[in-house]
Amino acid sequence: MKKNLVTVIGTLGLLVALTSLKASAQMPNMDMSWAARSQMQLQYQGDMNARRVAMHYMLRMRQMGYTGPSLPTGVTPDTLRASMQRLQQSMDAYHASAAANSNRTSNAVGDWDNRAIRGCWWALNAYNQKVLVCPY
- Report the mean per-residue pLDDT for the chain: 84
Rounded Cα gap, residues 62 and 70, in angstroms = 9
The single-letter DSSP state of residue 66 is -
> Of residues 121 and 29, which shows the higher confidence score?
121
pTM: 0.37
Task: List alpha helices for 1-136, DSSP H.
Answer: 2-18, 33-63, 77-112
**pLDDT value of position 9:** 75
Tallying the residues shown for the chain, one arrives at: 136
The single-letter DSSP state of residue 27 is P
Residue 75 — pLDDT band, cuts 50, 70, 90? Answer: confident
Tens of pLDDT, residues 96-129: 999 999 999 998 888 888 888 888 888 999 999 9
